[in-house]
Amino acid sequence: MPERNPCLKSGCPGFCCQDIDIEITKSERTRVFPTAIHVDSMKELAQIKKDNLQGLYYTEYSRKGLEGGDFYVIVINGPCPNRLSDGSCLKHDEREYAARNFAIGCSDCNVIRKENGLSPIFIEPVE
Ligand code: SF4
Ligand code: SF4
C-alpha cells in the first residue's frame, strides 16, 4: 500500500522511522515489533540508546492516568526493520498508534527533516 507517497514525494524516505524511542502498548509490541529485545529497566534502555546499540529494545513503562495500564518504551536504534527500501512500512495496516498519530508536516516531522538536511514542509488543512 503506497502509504508514504506524500513523504516520498517530499524527498523523505522515512526519517521518522529510525533512531527514535516511542511509547507502545503491549499488543503493539507483539504485533508490530516481534523481534524487539526485552531489557529490565529504563536505565538499561537509556544506556542502550546512549551507546547507540543497533536494533530494537524495550522495557516496561507505567504512566498514570492512561487507560490500559502498563506500556512499553521501545528504542529503535538505526532503521526500523519494518521500513522498506522505498520508505513505506511493512506493517502499515497494523502500525503503532504513535505512527498513526505522526502527521507529515507536524513540528516534530519538520525537526527530523531539518536534522536530515531536508526543508520543512507545511500542509494546509482541508476544510
Ligand atoms: S512524517 Fe515527516 S519525517 Fe516522517 S516520513 Fe513523512 S516527511 Fe519524513
Ligand atoms: S513500524 Fe512502520 S511506522 Fe512504525 S517505526 Fe517501523 S516503519 Fe515506522
Domain ranges of the chain: 14-115
Q: What is the pLDDT of residues 2-11, one digit of tens each?
A: 455 789 889 9
pTM: 0.88
Q: What is the pLDDT of residues 17-72, one digit of tens each?
A: 999 999 999 999 999 999 999 999 999 999 999 999 999 999 998 776 555 557 99
* 127 vs 120: CA distance, rounded Å: 22
Nearest ligand, measured from the Cα of 14: 1
Cα(112) to centroid of ligand 1, in Å? 8
Nearest ligand, measured from the Cα of 98: 2
User: Minimal CA–CA distance to 11: which of 108, 102, 117, 115?
Assistant: 117
